[in-house]
Structure 1
Amino acid sequence: MRGDTVRPIKKIAFFIFPGLTLLDLVGAYDSLRRVALMGIDPALTHRFIGTQSEISDETGIVLRPDAVYDDLSTFDLLYLPGGVGTRRLMGDDWCLDYLRRWGVERPIASVCTGALLLGKAGYLRDKRATTHRNAYDLLAPYCREVVRDRRIVDEGNVITAGGVSSALDLGLYLVERFWGDKARERIAQQMEYRPALEGAARASRPGSRTGAGRPRARPR
């Protein structure tokens, strides 16, 4: 996880579990699904991979994943939402071993307390990361530094984002990183997401100091 991935992103896995926060999932999914929908990369596909066949989010909304603990070897990007359910999964060895099998050569992204799963699985060791502000202290033992003043922290193949609404920013950031500025701008316009159009979301990238960064969430 020393630098940006060079593997094209053609297949995305969204990992879902009981007790997830729905906006954590949908906020980024909506941006990423538009990559194919709007013809930016018509070949891009995605699947929802669950810990069980029927999943209730933290409000009781029921989701049915495409597969349960599916083989991740054919995917290029793994996305983890947060939610109260992350606390239980932090003690689930089967789940943690599954996440560890993703490895370090492909990008993995989390929003909100999804970072706790990344931390428990060992992905944040010696890295900077962020999460929901109420979980900073929970994240601290698993990473080198908790970044508190950026919605997105990009450490090469490990990308973390802040709480809940940060999923919107993270989704567009991933679009920009893997498909470019113009793709991000087109999708942000279609979503009418003004903070992204106005450059409100900033990313802290590898080698930057906490608090440093450009006014836009640029990967380069």
Structure 2
Amino acid sequence: MKVLLFLAKGFETMEFSVFVDILGWARNDYHYDIDVITCGFSKTVSSTFNVPVIVDRLIDGINVDDYDALAIPGGFEEFGFYEEAYNEKLLDLIRKFDKMRKTIATICVAALALGKSGILKDRNATTYHLRGGYRQKQLAQFGVNVVNSPIVVDDNVITSYCPETASEVAFKLLERLTSTEQMQVVKEAMGFC
């Protein structure tokens, strides 16, 4: 199995790292057949707080058929997150994953890219909920049924409302790719239970 981990400029490193670590533990320590392939618009992507990450693939070379799931960490507007998160190439990639009913896991404001792509219209989802809920109001403008809950799963889409939920989103993705029992083994090994 392969997970495409998409990094838009200004992504949050904490939200990125949970996918790498949790899926990495599953592969390394328990031999679950899951590869994480990082992707971006450029070979080096600067995160929030300007930490550079070199990605494995560029968006133009991605074939959705090669992947089982898409994971997208959120990021900061001040660091240019929406410049790439709202780029039509990413929105089209999101639509293709959804059309094929492949799991899409987002953390925090990455749900706004899903909203902008149109895949969340009339579906349940959540996004950043603090500071007066202004990001949830933005998500609602895309026709989304916003649920003020830490994690919302609607069919093949997992959304969450702040960085605190990051590890649980990654575990939900692992559960989708394997089983509840296999996810629980990794969760316990990492000290989350």
Length-normalised TM-score, structure 2: 0.86
Question: Secondary structure at the residue paired with 1:38?
Answer: helix
Identify the match of residue 111 of structure 2 among 109, 115, 127.
Answer: 115
CA drift of 1:90 comes to 5.0
RMSD: 1.7
Q: How does 1:157-172 map to 2 (within 5 A)?
A: 157-172=156-171
- Unaligned runs of 5+ residues in structure 1 are 1-9, 198-220
* Misfit runs of 4+, over 4 Å: none
Query: 1:53 maps to which residue?
Result: 43
Query: 1:76 maps to which residue?
Result: 68
> As a proportion of its length, which structure holds more helix?
2
Question: Secondary structure at the residue paired with 1:23?
Answer: helix
Paired residues in the alignment total 183
Q: How does 1:20-169 map to 2 (within 5 A)?
A: 20-41=11-32, 43-69=33-59, 70-71=61-62, 72-84=64-76, 85-89=80-84, 91-105=86-100, 106-134=102-130, 135-148=135-148, 150-169=149-168
Question: Secondary structure at the residue paired with 1:126?
Answer: coil
CA drift of 1:156 comes to 0.9
Deviations 1:9-36 (A, max 9, x none): x111000121001111112332122221
Q: Which whole-Å CA distance do the structure 1 matches of 2:12 and 2:73 have between them? A: 7
- Unaligned runs of 5+ residues in structure 2 are none
Deviations 1:114-172 (A, max 9, x none): 00001101111110101111411111112431111x22111111111121121111111
Q: Which whole-Å CA distance do the structure 2 matches of 1:142 and 1:22 have between them? A: 27
Q: Which whole-Å CA distance do the structure 1 matches of 2:54 and 2:184 have between them? A: 31
Q: Which whole-Å CA distance do the structure 2 matches of 1:161 and 1:138 have between them? A: 15
